[in-house]
Every structure is written in C-alpha cells, then in structure tokens.
C-alpha cells in the first residue's frame, strides 16, 4: 500500500488555556508543574500539526513508535528556559 502525503494544513479545535480567576474554581487536588518551553503538537497517527493546523515534519526515529490508531494533543518539549 502506498502512503499518501498528509495535508499541509488541517482545521483543528484544540483546548486552549483560560485565565484563572481566584474564587471561581477550587484548584484542590489539581496537579500542575512549571511551564516548560516547547511547541504545541497534534499527532493524528501520521503527522504532527501545530495548534493552527500547519503540518510540520519530525524525524522518523521520533515518530516510528508513536501510535497510528490514536490522536495525541501534547507539547514537544524543547528545553527549560531555552525557548
């Protein structure tokens, strides 16, 4: 089976952060960490896309073991205080 080239841009609706307003939400039992530098990446099982839906390439060594049957919405970590 011949693999097709993924679209260069797709429409995405990703979750985006909201401002925290003290007293509106009880953060008890939340887990959080420091902000790490990186790039938001949506994996559709074949290709990475930015939060704006633009395709970008990742090395085969990085993508070869990623799941082909599920979508991931994460951040590609680029270092700490280096972005």
The total of structural domains in the chain comes to 1
Q: Supply the range of the domain harboring residue 56.
A: 37-79
pLDDT band at 48 (very low <50, low <70, confident <90, very high): very high
- Say which residue the tokens 């959080």 belong to: 32
The verdict on residue 29 lying in a domain is: no
Longest Cα separation, the chain: 56
Region 62-82: mean pLDDT is 86
Q: Residue 72 belongs to a domain with what CATH number?
A: 3.30.470.30
Radius of gyration of the chain (CA): 16
User: pTM for the complete prediction?
Assistant: 0.63
64: confidence class by pLDDT, cuts 50, 70, 90:
very high
Q: Given 9, 28, 35, 68, which residue is catalytic?
A: 35
Of residues 52 and 5, the one with the higher pLDDT is 52
**35 among known catalytic residues:** yes
Instruction: Grade residue 67 by pLDDT with cuts at 50, 70 and 90.
Output: very high
């Amino acid at each position: 089976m011949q693999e097709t080239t993924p679209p260069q841009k797709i429409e995405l609706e990703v979750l985006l952060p909201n401002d925290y307003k003290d007293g509106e939400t009880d953060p008890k039992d939340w887990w959080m960490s420091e902000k790490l530098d990186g790039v938001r990446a949506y994996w559709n099982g074949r290709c990475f896309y930015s939060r704006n839906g633009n395709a970008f390439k990742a090395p085969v060594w990085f993508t070869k073991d990623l799941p082909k049957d599920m979508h991931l919405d994460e951040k590609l970590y680029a270092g700490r205080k280096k972005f």
